[in-house]
Amino acid sequence: MDQDVSSSWVQKKLLSGNPFIGAEFFDLYIRTFIRTLLAYDPDKLDKDPGILGRVAAYYGCVEAQGRGSLHCHMLVWLEGGLNPNEIRDRLVNGQDAEFTERLIRYLDDTIATRIPLSSEDHRLQSDKPHPCHLRHVRRLQGETDSSYSTRLSADLSRLAYKTQLHIHSHTCYKYWKGGSSPRTCRFELDQGNTRENTTVDTTTGELTLRQLDGLVNPYNPTILSALRCNMDIKFIGSGASAKAILYYITDYITKSQLKAHIAFGALDVAIKKIGVYKREECSIAERGKQLLNKCAYAMLSHQELSAQQVASFLMDYGDYYTSHRFKPLQWIHFEKFIDDQYHSNECY
């Protein structure tokens, strides 16, 4: 991150009443994160790896929260990284013990799942500014390694306590059916959900990461210290958990911003506006075209977009970040073409 920019000042800009300033600084933060922490630069092949390793590609999807502020969900591919099937094949039956050991060591070093210090220490510091409003800890001139390390650890501890520690609310149980069914947090965060070590099921190749504190969202200490906002980092490995994450990411990236009840309401308004069909005024084809246009305009006008989202599009920032160019795939037509060429009953 830019060391000359105060985090508290940037926070004020991001949350300012001017959506164009908020969109501009969000774009600056994301691009600085990619350039500095991920160290992605396709033009410099000899550049040192980033905090996660040498990055081969990335894709980030931008979304607005309820209050309008923007946040990003990003996929990062690492050079030399294996796909879930390849990882499973090397983990199953303990065929490659050296690979398994190196993978676990990398994950345990990259992903943290507990508050560095006791959370009791932070309840006594309520008079201090929120750590997200403060700049990251910088080494003072002439400061010893021990002093700098102590200040850095204390800052990370308080930052993790304020941003990564989960506190249950009514939204955690919005899918709870009541009655005798177990009342569990939908985010799968619970005080008793702890694991001391990362484990591998050699039968299925399932990789289960350690969870030292059941209420802490996984985070990377360096990224958390630099960005100073909550995060949730996950490894897409092998087994059922990898499939679940892939499904979630795909569903998230492709989901519509228009909620179903708003869409149906917009369609109802469009149908009422077009009125009763009169054969002498237009043909069936013209009537159908009018109806489609009315429906399209009504749905577009009912889109829920925050001011920051609108400003981001007007300033040509868009709603995603990617390292590669791609083209849309019309999946329905593609699927039909494949089925016509190579029909398989197993797919139906």
Residue 69, number of CB atoms within 10 A of its CB: 13
- Per-residue confidence (pLDDT) for residue 254, from 0 to 100: 66
Contacts of 183 (CB under 8 A, 6+ apart): 173, 176
What is the residue type of 314?
Answer: L
* DSSP annotation string for 257-273: SS-HHHHHHHHHHHHHH
- DSSP letter, residue 49: P
The backbone region for 61, taken as left when phi is positive above 0, alpha when psi lies in -120 to 50, beta otherwise, is: beta
Q: Distance between CA 313 and CA 307 in Å, rounded?
A: 10
The rounded radius of gyration (Å) of the Cα atoms in the chain is: 25
Is 322 in a helix, a strand, or coil?
A: strand
- Check if the beta carbon of residue 55 is closer than 8 Å to that of residue 39: yes
Which tokens belong to 266?
């917009």
What is the residue type of 143?
Answer: E
Q: What angle do CA 90, 91, 92 make, to 5 degrees?
A: 100
Distance of CA 73 to the CA centre of its chain: 2
pTM: 0.76
pLDDT string in tens for the chain (348-residue length): 333 333 444 555 555 567 777 788 888 889 999 999 999 988 887 788 999 999 999 998 888 876 677 888 898 999 988 888 888 888 887 778 899 999 999 999 999 999 987 544 555 455 678 888 888 888 899 989 999 888 888 889 999 999 999 998 888 888 888 878 888 888 888 888 899 999 888 888 888 889 999 999 999 999 999 998 899 998 988 767 777 777 777 776 666 565 665 666 666 776 777 777 677 777 777 877 777 777 776 666 666 677 777 788 788 887 889 999 888 888 888 888 888 888 877 666
- Check if the beta carbon of residue 10 is closer than 8 Å to that of residue 25: yes
Q: Distance between CA 31 and CA 10 in Å, rounded?
A: 15
- Per-residue confidence (pLDDT) for residue 340, from 0 to 100: 87
- Per-residue confidence (pLDDT) for residue 261, from 0 to 100: 59
- Per-residue confidence (pLDDT) for residue 109, from 0 to 100: 94
- Per-residue confidence (pLDDT) for residue 9, from 0 to 100: 44
- Per-residue confidence (pLDDT) for residue 57, from 0 to 100: 92
Which tokens belong to 23?
């969109």
Domain boundaries, the chain: 8-254, 259-304
Residue 10, number of CB atoms within 10 A of its CB: 19
β-bridge mates for residue 73, sequence order: 61
